[in-house]
Amino acid sequence: MTDAAAPSPSAQALCGIRVLDLSRVLAGPWATQALGDLGAEVIKIEKPGEGDDTRGWGPPWLADGEGNPTRESAYFLAANRNKRSVTIDMARPEGQALIHALARESDVLVENFKVGGLKRYGLDYDSLAALNPRLIYCSITGFGQDGPEAGRAGYDFMIQGMSGLMSVTGSPETEPQKVGVALVDILTGLNATIAILAALEQRHRSGRGQRIDIALFDVAVASLANQALNFLVGGTAPRRLGNAHPNIVPYQAFETADGHLILAVGNDAQFARFCRLADLAVLAQDARYATNRERVAHRDTLVPLIAEALKRQSTAEWLAMLDTAGIPAGPINTIAQAFAEPQALARGLAMNLPHPLGGTASGVRSPLRLADSPMDGATAPPWLGQHTDEVLATRLGLSPAEREALRASGII
């Protein structure tokens, strides 16, 4: 295990940390992928013959070297790079013994089973902490380990609704909308990663691991940020404003002569510059609009004036002028256009990794950039059971005959 020798300055940040990943779908795998990106060894435990549910969530599918579709979905590829896949049937005593042995040699375990779901397999926190007191055990659930809803399953879409997020997403004229990606799962994975890193740091001082309880519902409510405080401080539930901002004006999407753009005026000086640029200088002198406080109060009269002015020129013309004037603005890209942005190309956000089934696996580069901890050398998401023999041989010392017996009985 891992606190012994300090890694060299050029080593990956989490070099030497071993993560046992019992999670599937998105929130848990997103957390363990982040840990893998940072250099941790991530051993992903999957059910023999089936694996992570998301392996089958296609199309689209990964193509092999001859262009034929494999059984690896793009969804699975999104959250499982830098991992080693080991198939073990945890419902069998022999499989539980293998996971116990791996847990003894691990620093972190991540799971997203329903509350109490792993206790019957002897894979709950108390059982594994008795085997390895230094183990950091992160549980990700819909509603947490306690409270009246603790036993319920939680899914991103329903949590977006329950948390209030959908009540402030979408236009006033349409039904409430979910975010276009499973954002609660993603944010939950990131919060789990933060908690795990904090627990690792505390373990340096205490020598002990601990239990981490992360709930999708908690994360979603906490992530309401200013909207949550708008309610708690103001006493009125925020309403849907479409692409407008509840606390800043003008800060929304506007139509141009040939499309749309986002205008994000963040302070009064920017507003005055924008007014001069748009031949609306008189508005910056108007007491109703001179300060953000007054612009928020009078948005209903101000926004139509800005909207009419922005229709006079094309999106490209406006963006060039706004950039020159130092006024934050941007296009509304498709995902294809986002990857074609010069900045995306310069930062190498899209990447291709050689895949063991042939061909290449597309991916999105981690946004984490650590100057002294290289994050190159990423590996493609594994095929199901790709590393079973390797891990059981090198980590647990099982002989070929022992592994073959386990495989013959369906345990691996």
Q: How far is it, in rounded angstroms, from Cα 194 to Cα 200?
A: 10
Query: What phi and psi values does residue 19 have, to the nearest 5 degrees?
Result: -115, 125
pLDDT at 9: 52
Place of tokens 């791996």: 102
Per the CB < 8 A criterion, the answer to whether 160 and 170 are in contact is: no
Question: Do β-strands 136-141 and 211-215 pair in parallel, antiparallel, or remain unpaired?
Answer: parallel
Strands in 260-264's sheet, in edge-to-edge order, are: 251-255, 260-264, 329-331
CA 24 to chain CA mean position, Å = 14
DSSP 63: E
Give residue 6's pLDDT.
Answer: 47
Are residues 77 and 353 in contact, defined by beta-carbon separation less than 8 angstroms? Answer: no
**φ and ψ at residue 71, rounded to 5 degrees:** -100, 15
Structure tokens at 18: 């071993």
Residue 297 has what pLDDT? 97
3-state secondary structure of 61: strand
- Closest by alpha carbon to 358, among 79, 46, 61, 117? 61
Phi-psi region of 315 (alpha: psi -120 to 50; beta: other; left: phi over 0): alpha
- DSSP labels, 358-410: SSEEEEE--S---TTS------PPPPTTTTHHHHHHHTT---HHHHHHHHHTT
Of 26, 34, 113, the C-alpha closest to 74 is 26
- pLDDT of 2 reads 42
Q: How far apart are CA 208 and CA 129, in angstroms?
A: 9
Torsion of CA 121, 123, 125, 131, to 10 degrees: 120
- Pick the catalytic residue: 21, 37, 156, 185? 185
In order, the DSSP letters of 244-283 are --SS-SSEEEEE-SSSEEEEE--SHHHHHHHHHHTT-HHH
Active-site annotation holds for 185: yes
Q: Average pLDDT of each block of 10 consecutive residues along the chain (412 residues)?
A: 47 95 98 97 97 96 91 96 98 98 98 96 98 98 96 95 96 93 98 98 97 98 97 95 94 96 96 97 96 97 97 97 96 96 96 90 94 89 97 97 97 97
